[in-house]
Amino acid sequence: MDKFTKLTGVAAPLPQINVDTDMIIPKQFLKTIKRSGLGKNLFDEMRYDDDGNEIPDFVLNQPAYREAQILVAGENFGCGSSREHAPWALLDFGIRCVVAPSFADIFFNNCFKNGILPIVLPQEDVDKLMDDASRGSNAVITVDLESQTITGPDGGSIAFDVDPFRKHCLLNGLDDIGLTLEKAAAIDAFETEAAQARPWV
């Protein structure tokens, strides 16, 4: 998993509330177990018409936001079924951070496990960032995980909270497997001792 330390990028505004995981990545794209290749179908039903043509009004189809790395969203983002493909699709598109007033719990946890930083902020702060994000290609904000601050294009700063353990994992690029491998020496020592103590096992 890639480390998340400081991210400076274009923020895309998606003020819609209750964006569920089927909207993020529709069910017909869940056949793969690969984490790559899903970005092209992120928000598929909002990005494309029935003939597969881009819908120009959708934010990620607009030239200024095609390479957005931050998404500023409405409340209850990621609700619905608990599909891990949702953060996979966001990450494959290039989005490393989602800011919203609230998230669905399972989606929120899945983001951390896949290297995405979900940030919960009061509605008034989200509204400010949503306004910043409406500036198109000038909607560049910086998310600094170490200092737990978001800096807008006008230089204003917003502080955010993050669980210390999850912060540690993101800063060091540790998913569940990485966390286990940190204990590799202790695991090897235990297995050696156990084999000597119980050779019949």
pLDDT by residue (tens digit) across 75-101? 999 999 888 999 999 999 999 999 999
**DSSP letter string over the chain?**
----SEEEEEEEEE--S--BHHHHS-GGG-S---SSS-GGGTTHHHHB-TTS-B-TTSGGGSGGGTT--EEEE-SSBTBSS--THHHHHHHHHT--EEEES-B-HHHHHHHHHTT-EEEE--HHHHHHHHHHHTTGGG-EEEEETTTTEEE-TTS-EEE----HHHHHHHHHT--HHHHHHTTHHHHHHHHHHHHHH-TT-
Q: What is the mean pLDDT of residues 46-75?
A: 96
Residue 121 pLDDT class (50, 70, 90 cuts): very high
pTM value?
0.88
Measured between alpha carbons, how far is 201 from 183 in angstroms, rounded to an integer? 23
Question: Residue 53 has what pLDDT?
Answer: 96
* Domain covering 6-172 in this structure, CATH number: 3.20.19.10
Q: What is the pLDDT of residues 158-191, one digit of tens each?
A: 999 999 999 999 999 987 666 666 666 777 677 7
